[in-house]
Amino acid sequence: MTSADYRIESTQPIAGRFWPVAGSLQLAVKDRALAVSLAAKSFTSNSEIRVVHVPTGEVVFRKPGQRAEWNGEDF
């Protein structure tokens, strides 16, 4: 396996409390569980967030876009 087996990606900038680089469109991650956890806790403005297994191109997780933006409060 390579150093970046999974990629979190979106067509819109991704943000969230645990997102390391606010406003980026993708992030390479070694661990599948970490990639899915980061994607699940992140958001975009009405654009899907995906976790892709880089070697195969398989989408292993999808989160639909959200219309309302996160206001900094936990639900």
Q: What are the sequence ranges of the domains in the chain?
A: 6-63
pLDDT tens digit sequence for 26-74? 999 999 999 999 999 998 888 999 999 999 999 999 999 865 555 665 5
CB 68 within 8 A of CB 43: no
Distance separating alpha carbons of residues 53 and 36, to the nearest angstrom = 11
Average pLDDT, integer, range 7-18:
92
Within 13 Å and on the Cβ side, how many CA atoms surround 17? 8
Reported pTM: 0.80
φ/ψ region of 46 (left if φ > 0, alpha if ψ in -120 to 50, else beta) reads: left
Confidence at residue 41, expressed as pLDDT on a 0 to 100 scale? 92
Distance separating alpha carbons of residues 15 and 45, to the nearest angstrom = 9
pLDDT tier for residue 20 given thresholds of 50, 70 and 90:
confident
